[in-house]
């Protein structure tokens, strides 16, 4: 249990960040820095009047803003980033520049005030590696740099290198977490979001979920309480410093099966609609056929493992969306 700490959460009004803040706000001083580009005040409104909580609207890509928000905190959890496949293919320059500058600012501020950094990286770092399950010390495999789809993976990998650079040169305590397809309440249902909120948003509006390709590509979906639980353990555990740790479930599901599960959870009788990748992402888009994490390190180092199965997590998530979808 984390108590008595002074913590800055960048991107703390976003989906994962706001859930993390909910788990930290009691017994700690928590500052949220978010420019609200994808984050929402509604996600943190219930914390606004709580003792020790502060919200600052600002961009982690601006050094002075990060410096002011951090104050004399003893830990920074860096959740802020430009995310979403549509962003990767529409504005790769923004993805690269914003993500790298935000990370550099967080690390430099942390160095100056001697604060621990927990960085929210991503399973996208592995690219299309076929060495399954994906281990933290395994090789990365990406497509050509001319394919914009890989800019997000590259930006996050660069951020990881920055973390290790500060760790090795300045002995700055850093922990890198690679999240695997987190889902749950508050995830944005727009086309810039992840597959589960996109599917739910369409189905509840009586539109069939659009499955790209043949639907046989697989992912491992991690419910938000498990994502947050792993993050909290990494924040606490001293042995996690200087480490990369996968945070995700290793239960593999095809996208077609996922669509059918969500249709049932929503109580609808429709069938998925198959569409080619190029109709949505362009001809040069490359997908990843399978993505499965090795989670033995998280179990051993953090004493953490996922608890919520996909069926239960989808039921909780759909119940939340029913309340917010028009």
- Give the C-alpha separation, 47 to 22, whole Å: 8
Please, are residues 4 and 30 in contact by the beta-carbon 8 Å criterion? no
What six digits make up the tokens of 324?
């917010």
Residue 159: closest CA among 113, 127, 115, 117: 117
Alpha-carbon span 102 to 290, nearest angstrom: 30
> What is the token pair recorded at 276?
């080619």
Q: Among residues 37, 111, 98, 13, which one has the least CA distance to residue 67?
A: 111
Q: Tokens 């499965």 correspond to what residue?
A: 292
- The tokens describing 37, both together, are 């580009």
d(C-alpha 24, C-alpha 15), whole Å? 15
Residue 184 tokens, joined: 């749950």
Catalytic residue among 88, 152, 166, 321: 152
Burial 59-78 (b: 16+ CB within 10 A, else e): bbbbeebbeebbeebbbbbb
Using an 8 Å Cβ cutoff, are 88 and 152 in contact? yes
Are residues 115 and 272 in contact, defined by beta-carbon separation less than 8 angstroms? no
Contact between 154 and 94 (Cβ < 8 Å): no
For residue 152, indicate whether it is catalytic: yes
Task: Answer yes or no: are the C-beta atoms of 43 and 20 closer than 8 Å.
Answer: no
Helix/strand/coil (H, E, C) string of 304-325?
A: CCCCCCHHHHHHHHHHHHHHHC
- Spatial CA neighbour of 134 closest among 147, 121, 144: 121
Catalogue the active-site residues: 152
């Amino acid at each position: 249990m984390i108590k008595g700490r002074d913590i800055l959460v960048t991107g703390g009004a976003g989906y994962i960040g706001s859930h993390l803040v909910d788990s930290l706000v009691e017994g700690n001083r928590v500052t949220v820095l978010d420019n609200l580009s994808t984050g929402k005040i509604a996600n943190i409104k219930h914390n606004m009047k709580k003792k020790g909580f502060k919200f600052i609207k600002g961009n982690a890509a601006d050094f002075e803003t990060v410096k002011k928000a951090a104050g004399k905190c003893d830990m920074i959890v860096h959740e802020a980033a430009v995310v979403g496949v549509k962003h990767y293919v529409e504005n790769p320059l923004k993805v690269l520049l914003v993500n790298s500058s935000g990370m550099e600012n967080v690390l430099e501020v942390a160095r100056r005030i001697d604060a621990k950094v927990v960085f929210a990286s991503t399973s996208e770092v592995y690219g299309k590696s076929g060495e399954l399950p994906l281990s933290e010390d395994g090789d990365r495999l990406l497509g050509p740099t001319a394919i914009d789809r890989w800019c997000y993976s590259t930006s996050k990998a660069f951020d990881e290198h920055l973390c290790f650079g500060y760790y090795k040169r300045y002995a700055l305590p850093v922990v890198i977490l690679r999240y695997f397809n987190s889902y749950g309440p508050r995830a944005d249902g727009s086309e810039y979001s992840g597959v589960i909120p996109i599917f739910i948003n369409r189905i509840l509006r009586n539109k069939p979920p659009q499955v790209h390709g043949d639907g046989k590509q697989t992912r491992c979906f991690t419910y938000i309480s498990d994502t947050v639980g792993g993050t909290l353990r990494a924040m606490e555990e001293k042995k996690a410093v200087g480490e990369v740790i996968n945070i995700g479930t290793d239960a593999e599901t095809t996208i077609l099966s996922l669509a059918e599960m969500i249709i049932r959870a929503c109580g609808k009788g429709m069938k998925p609609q198959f569409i080619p990748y190029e109709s949505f992402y362009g001809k040069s888009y490359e997908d990843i056929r399978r993505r499965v994490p090795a989670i033995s390190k998280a179990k051993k180092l953090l004493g953490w493992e996922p608890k919520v199965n996909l069926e239960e997590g989808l039921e909780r998530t759909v119940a939340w969306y029913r309340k917010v979808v028009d």
